[in-house]
Structure 1
Amino acid sequence: MQVLDKKIIFVGGKGGVGKSTSAAAIAWKSAKDGFQTLLISTDPAHNLGDIFGQSIGGRITHISANLSALEIDPAAETDKYIKGVKENIKNVIHASRMGEVNRQLDTVKSSPGAEEAALFDKLISIILEERDHFDKIIFDTAPTGHTIRLLSLPELMGVWIEGMLKKRQKTNENYSQLLNDGDPVEDPIYDVLKVRQERFSKAREILLDGTITGFVFVINPERLPIAETEKAIELLDKYHLHVKTLIINKLLPEHAEGEFLLKRKEHEQRYLNIIEETFANQEKIYVPLFPQDITDKEHLEAFGDYYMEGRT
């Protein structure tokens, strides 16, 4: 599985296909191989704590030898993000107007895209600041639509910040000529935007570097996960984020017994043929349906063992 050689791995897919279990198995295997590994959930419906049987939460938490985990709370990160914006602008907004500005910013917290922007800000911090402390960083992402919006933000936000910087620069030049005898005007907002542009640029560079970052999608042999994954891969390709590995999860056992299971197996085989045809360019890993939920470290060990041995 070539993607396991990457330093940063994003695991995505439709809700319910087994993303969290797959991400946890990759992280568990990485830690067992001696790599200092950080497993991160960006999915609001966090499952990592259930899989490892312990509370994780918003701080990096030790799980086992070489393995730590973190569950990002989108609401908490949005609050922190808005608080940071307030701090950045309080010295350039007149005190009499700060109350209204703060009220406007508070309403932004519930606006579309606010959580994705805050999550991406946290994601950037993790990638840029934690990559020197860990050998592997694995992201268990939210369901497909959220993942696409999150991963497309570097390009979209980069364009937006570039436009804002040009506007601020033009305004500053005008002020400089009119009010400051041509001397440069100090602009804290410009400085903040410039720092953010540099961080976004560095994060985008890392995400686009195929030697550092890999993308995995988990699917089940069913119509909706296949259709959703096909669209997601096409969309991510447009942002130069290439999904090269698929995990086909929850396959029925080879020797299924009983009329119902045999019919279901025939049905499943049709979708496996579609997967082979639709995703001809992706590496594919086939994982069976286990007789029990993966709810503890022993089950995860068994899942991980097959996961590595069952590659095709």
Structure 2
Amino acid sequence: MENLFSFDIVFFGGKGGVGKSTSSSAFALAAAKKRKKTLLVSTDPAHNLSDLFDEEIGDKKRKLTDCLWGLEISPENESRRYINQVKDNLKGLVKSHMAEEVNRQIDMAAVSPGSEEAALFDRLVEIVLDEKENFDLIVFDTAPTGHTVRLLSLPELMEAWIEGMLQRRQSINENYSQWLNDGEPVDDPIYRVLMNRKDKFSAARKVLMDNKRTAYIYVLVPEKLPIAETKRAVKLLEKTELRVNALVVNKCMPVHAGDSEFIQKRRNQEKRYLTQIEEMFSSREKLYLPLLAEDISSREALETIMSCFLE
């Protein structure tokens, strides 16, 4: 896992409940221990970072150690901020008697499916582009698999959508110039806004698709459903040209767990699943984390897992 510390951005994904927050936090803590200035960002609506570090983090960067900062993005707050930004962009671009209706339509769009994901992606792009100069490493603790796959496939989709909007807008401007402006180019603020967003998404996509700068780690446990979901997610990401670099296999039965009949049955089952993981993901690096006797609910317990990333 040592080579993962050389990346600029590392995403942690996986099925709900497999330990993404614990793994990403331990990895970020390990990076900070190596004196890398690190930003740990949670995009999961069910934030766990505050609980793990035993202090309130919220949606503003908060210093957690000498080299580690934390940030919890609220999809609801981001959606609200995103909608207000859209309204601000349209000020002065629509006639006053139409402004109220336009704002009503925007408010309706705000509660449509996918609006929070679009707003969350906008903030993610902002962090990727603006914070990369301030930190050596940015670690993302993402929401469960399906959400993550959709989020990471958005750059290409959004860029293609805006490209279509630009082409239509350019066609309108050309017709307008020919009909009413003697062929002279028209200054179109909406076109400028769209072009700026296209450039921003293109820049973010370039970073996210660069396998020398961005790494993707999937967390799973040695059980049937998480293995099957990880297999699907890896294939889906590969279709969007994103390669999963490594797997974190969490909650593996420790050697000192005992030898009761129950424990032995669990060991035999786990052994089959671990073999399956080795065969199914043979080309990917893997880190095996032990199942601990108690929940990881403090920084001290988190440091136990952190040491696994430093070995």
Fold shared, TM-score > 0.5 on shorter chain = yes
SS at match of 1:108: helix
How high is the TM-score relative to the length of structure 2? 0.98
Which residue does the alignment assign to 1:233?
234
Distance 1:13 1:158 in 2: 26
1:137-176 equivalence runs, <5 A: 137-176=138-177
Verify the 8 A CA contact 2:162 2:194 in the aligned structure 1.
yes
For residue 3 of structure 1, report the CA deviation from its aligned partner. Answer: 2.2
- The one of 278, 281, 288 equivalent to 1:279 is 281
Per the TM alignment, residue 281 of structure 1 is displaced from its structure 2 partner at its CA by 1.5
After TM superposition, give the deviation of residue 110 of structure 1 in Å. 1.5
Q: Which amino acid aligns with 2:9?
A: I
Corresponding residue for residue 251 of structure 1: 252
Conserved? CA contact 1:27–1:67, under 8 Å: yes
Number of the residue aligned with 2:31: 30
Partner of 1:205: 206
Structure 2 unaligned residues grouped into runs of 5+: none
Please give the alpha-carbon distance, in whole angstroms, between the structure 2 residues aligned to 1:61 and 1:107.
34
Contact 2:18 2:221 in 1 (8 A): yes
Q: Provide the secondary structure at the position in 1 that maps to 2:295.
A: coil
Aligned twin of 1:73: 74
Counterpart CA distance in 2 for 1:142 and 1:117 is: 14
- Report matched runs for 1:293-304 at 5 Å: 293-304=295-306
Partner of 2:45: 44
**Aligned match of 1:263 in 241, 262, 265?**
265
Tell me which amino acid in the other structure corresponds to 1:174. Answer: N
Task: Decide whether the 8 Å contact of 1:287 with 1:307 is kept in 2.
Answer: no
Structure 2 equivalent of residue 218 of structure 1: 219
CA contact (8 A) 1:3 1:216 kept: no
- Secondary structure of 2:69's counterpart equals strand
CA distance in 2 between partners of 1:144 and 1:308 (Å): 26
Paired residues, number:
309
Aligned equivalents of 1:257, 1:104: Cα separation in 2? 64
Equivalent in the alignment of 1:118: 119
* Separation (CA, whole Å) in 2 of partners of 1:4 and 1:116: 28
Letter paired with 1:126: I
Give yes or no for contact 2:14–2:220 (8 Å, CA) kept in 1. yes
Deviations 1:116-156 (A, max 9, x none): 11111101111111111111100000011110111000001
The one-character-per-residue Cα deviations of 1:278-306 (angstroms, maximum 9, x if unpaired) are 11121111111011111111111111113
- 1:131 aligned onto 2:132: yes
Match of 2:291 in 1: 289
Query: In 1, distance between residues paired with 2:41 and 2:308?
Result: 23
Q: Please name the residue that 1:108 is paired with.
A: 109
2:276 and 2:116 map into 1 onto residues whose CA distance is 35
Alignment-mate amino acid for residue 263 of structure 1: K
Displacement of 1:31: 0.5
| Alpha-carbon distance between aligned partners in 1 of 2:134 and 2:223, rounded to the nearest angstrom | 39
Q: Which moves more between the two structures, 112-121 or 250-259?
A: 250-259
- Contact 2:40–2:140 (8 Å) recurs in 1: yes
d(CA) in 1 for partners of 2:308, 2:125: 33
Provide the identity percentage: 53
Q: 2:266 & 2:202 partners in 1: Cα distance?
A: 48
Distance in 2 (alpha carbons) for counterparts of 1:25 and 1:201: 31
Which runs of 5 or more residues in structure 1 are unaligned?
none
> How large is the Cα RMSD of the aligned pairs?
0.9
- Quote the offset at 1:106 in angstroms: 0.7
Describe the SS at the equivalent of 2:255: coil
